[in-house]
A and B are shown apart, each in its own frame.
Chain A
Amino acid sequence: MTSNGVESLRQVAPSYGTKAPRRSWVPVVLIAIALAFLGLVLYIPAINVFYQAFHEGIGPFLKNLSKPDFQHAVKMTVLLAAIAVPMNIIFGLAAAFALAHKRFRGRTLLLSIIDLPFAISPVVAGLMIVLLYGRQGWFGGWLQANNIKIVFAFTGMMLATAFVSMPFVAREVIPVLEEEGTSQEEAAHTLGANAWQTFWRVTVPNIRWGLLYGILLTNARAMGEFGAVSVVSGNIAGKTQSLPLFVEEAYKSYDTAAAYSASVLLALLAVVTLVVKEFLERRTAARTRRTH
């Protein structure tokens, strides 16, 4: 909220300049260019997803939804996220608690290492998993001897998914913890709360919005990941095919209708993610305003 004085000054200000009339159309032109660019790159393609899926009515869409390969792909995607997201929550929280309140040499390096999965190409991430657990990989011989399959199987897809979505929770929770400080936890401790009670009653309520934000981003990435999962899955329909892989395969085999039906589901996931994100951002904004 800017004060009224500044606001009125701003309205008066243009009259000081000699080129005052130009200001009236500059914003309009700039807004128009920005919207045109966004339209070409974001909005038209986004609308196209829904148009392609529904332009022949809802019938073909529902028919595609009932195909067994499609349903298997949905199940696969949900399952991948259901395992990879909790893994990364535990890691992210552990990393956040380990690093938030400490200053030591190498801390910046450690934070950069945690961020590394974002810098690595998903295909390279998948390649790494193949080189580690594939037939020729480090553990290849041992895994084969024990009849365990990781590459071209669910486990490998899960490792790839967890890899690419690893840093989100840590990244969102560390700044929140840094801002909160340790005084509340220390107070709870002095008042006789044990570690577990302090964690659930003091720490979790303090970090919940940041944590939810991190979980939201982790989940969106986990459900949408294509490159890394594609490398390790072998992409066998009805077996190791997640929803994004289904989209690509349907498109490559000229079943565009099926590709778009699956895309609508993933696009809805994106829309829900953005809506929840907006909600969480407003929450955190409201909270920081209150504490200042």
Chain B
Amino acid sequence: MAVSSPSFRRTSSHSPGKVLLTSLIHMPWTWRIMLGYLLVMLIMPVTAMLLRAATVGPAEFWRIATSPLALSTYDVTFTTSLIAALIDGVFGVLIAWVLVRYDFPLKRFIDASIDLPFALPTAVAGLTLATVYSNNGWIGSLLAPLGIKIAFTRLGVGIAMMFISLPFVVRTVQPVLMQMEREIEEAAWSLGASPLQTFWRVILPPLFPAILTGVALGFSRAVGEYGSTVIISSNTPFRDLIAPILIFQRLEQYDYAGATVIGAVLLLISLVMLLIINFIQAWGKQYD
């Protein structure tokens, strides 16, 4: 495999058509495994869903995709995800900043714990957030007298989404912040810029692509989230029912067309998000 690579690479000096033909015939077994697995595990399922969505027909597709209930789930899903990702954007940058620039007790522990949402199964996250933020939970009981209900409302869905997407922002901003040279800030500062000016004009601009990438990654994760949101949401239509849960409910009712259409809408949106994220990252590389 690794040893056979030089001979494989040599073929790339020929014309494109010939290359394709030779590489198909002399395809190393690593390529066979990779393409075979991708075909069976990924490309076939995606194709099956897109073809199934196509058989619904454009008029029917549009009717299901834009039904009032579907539209309300997009609203709850995308608006809540966006707000959650933006809040994470602000606090994520703050956390990354604090972790990179300051020393304080338990810093290593806190740094490692940022990845908790990646490691903790989402069902557990949903369960414990629903308990803590319920009316008689540790945090919910403090807010209940003020008339603020979090668990089993859209706010709760937002909290679950914030939990899920936080590491994306911190972990994309942190390395960029580490590479930034402090001398530049110190120069700005000694030239008479106030700390606030230094932050807005010197620190933030080079961080911006990383922040955007983190927020976009967090948003796209929050949009697809199911495990934690299904538990903390009351799943009431038009109030806190999100699109992934609607897909699940449609499937439970054996409404395959309904599930497939909304699934296809979500899939297309995640593909667009992926393109946007790639674009932001390419744009951010100009700063390097």
Q: Is the CB of B271 within 8 A of A45?
A: no
B52 contact set on A, CB distance < 8 A: 131
B162 contact set on A, CB distance < 8 A: 41
Shortest distance from the beta carbon of A138 to any chain B beta carbon, whole Å: 6
Within 8 A of B (CB), among A133-183: 136-138, 159, 162-163, 166, 182
A48 contact set on B, CB distance < 8 A: 128, 131-132, 137-138
Could you tell me how many residues of chain B have their Cβ less than 8 Å away from some Cβ of chain A? Answer: 94
A205 contact set on B, CB distance < 8 A: none
User: Which of A49, A189, A274 is within 8 Å of B119, CB to CB?
Assistant: A274
**Distance in angstroms between the alpha carbons of A226 and B224 in the assembled complex:** 12
Q: Which chain A residue has the least Cβ–Cβ distance from B129?
A: A45
Q: Is the CB of A117 within 8 A of B42?
A: yes
Q: Is the CB of A251 within 8 A of B127?
A: yes
Shortest distance from the beta carbon of B220 to any chain A beta carbon, whole Å: 6
Q: Is the CB of B113 within 8 A of A42?
A: yes
Shortest distance from the beta carbon of A119 to any chain B beta carbon, whole Å: 4
Q: Is the CB of B94 within 8 A of A231?
A: no
Q: Is the CB of B224 within 8 A of A42?
A: no
A13 contact set on B, CB distance < 8 A: 186, 189-190
User: Which of A119, A131, A263, A277 is within 8 Å of B127, CB to CB?
Assistant: A263
**Distance in angstroms between the alpha carbons of A69 and B137 in the assembled complex:** 28
Q: Is the CB of B118 within 8 A of A220?
A: yes
Q: Known: A91-B37, A130-B251, A270-B121. Contact between A195 and B166, CB under 8 A?
A: no
Q: Is the CB of B110 within 8 A of A91?
A: no
Indicate if B230 sits at the interface (CB-CB under 8 A). yes
Within 8 A of A (CB), among B85-111: 91, 94-95, 97-98, 101-102, 104, 108, 110
Indicate if B59 sits at the interface (CB-CB under 8 A). no
**Distance in angstroms between the alpha carbons of A191 and B247 in the assembled complex:** 58
**Distance in angstroms between the alpha carbons of A102 and B8 in the assembled complex:** 9
B3 contact set on A, CB distance < 8 A: 185-186, 188-189, 195, 198
Most-contacted residue by chain B among A26, A27, A37 (CB, 10 A): A37
**Distance in angstroms between the alpha carbons of A119 and B138 in the assembled complex:** 34
Indicate if B223 sits at the interface (CB-CB under 8 A). yes
**Distance in angstroms between the alpha carbons of A111 and B105 in the assembled complex:** 40
Q: Is the CB of A124 within 8 A of B244?
A: yes
Q: How many A residues are at the interface, by size bracket?
A: 35 or more
Indicate if B5 sits at the interface (CB-CB under 8 A). yes
Q: Is the CB of B97 within 8 A of A30?
A: yes
B267 contact set on A, CB distance < 8 A: 120-121, 124
Q: Known: A13-B190, A131-B45, A277-B115. Contact between A244 and B121, CB under 8 A?
A: yes
Most-contacted residue by chain A among B49, B94, B270 (CB, 10 A): B49
Within 8 A of A (CB), among B61-83: none
Q: A10-43: contact bitstring with B at CB < 8 Å (1 yes, 0 no)?
A: 1001001101001100110011011101101111
A256 contact set on B, CB distance < 8 A: 131
B12 contact set on A, CB distance < 8 A: 104
Q: Is the CB of B42 within 8 A of A113?
A: yes
Indicate if B146 sits at the interface (CB-CB under 8 A). no
> What is the interface of chain B mostly: helix, strand, loop, or mixed?
helix
B21 contact set on A, CB distance < 8 A: none
Q: Is the CB of B98 within 8 A of A34?
A: yes
A82 contact set on B, CB distance < 8 A: none
Within 8 A of B (CB), among A186-228: 186, 188-189, 195, 198-199, 203, 217, 220, 223-227
Q: Which chain A residue has the least Cβ–Cβ distance from B271?
A: A119
Q: Is the CB of A227 within 8 A of B116?
A: no
Q: Known: A44-B138, A247-B124. Contact between A124 and B251, CB under 8 A?
A: no
Indicate if B266 sits at the interface (CB-CB under 8 A). yes
Shortest distance from the beta carbon of A224 to any chain B beta carbon, whole Å: 3
**Distance in angstroms between the alpha carbons of A102 and B34 in the assembled complex:** 14
User: Which of B1, B46, B113, B270 is within 8 Å of A128, CB to CB?
Assistant: B46
Q: Is the CB of A267 within 8 A of B124?
A: yes
Q: Is the CB of B112 within 8 A of A274?
A: yes
Indicate if A46 sits at the interface (CB-CB under 8 A). yes
Q: Is the CB of A163 within 8 A of B2?
A: no
Q: Is the CB of A45 within 8 A of B112?
A: no
A199 contact set on B, CB distance < 8 A: 1-2
Task: List 21 interface pairs A-B (beta carbons < 8 Å), by A numbering.
Answer: A19-B194, A30-B94, A48-B131, A97-B2, A121-B247, A123-B248, A124-B244, A124-B247, A125-B45, A163-B41, A163-B42, A166-B41, A186-B6, A195-B1, A220-B118, A231-B248, A248-B126, A263-B123, A266-B123, A270-B124, A274-B112
Residues of A within 8 A of B (CB): 10, 13, 16-17, 19, 22-23, 26-27, 30-31, 33-35, 37-38, 40-46, 48-49, 52, 87, 90-91, 93-95, 97-99, 101-102, 104, 112-117, 119-125, 127-132, 136-138, 159, 162-163, 166, 182, 185-186, 188-189, 195, 198-199, 203, 217, 220, 223-227, 230-231, 243-245, 247-248, 251, 256, 259-260, 263, 266-267, 269-271, 273-275, 277-278
Q: Which 5 A-B pairs have the closest CB atoms?
A: A121-B224, A224-B121, A226-B227, A227-B226, A128-B45
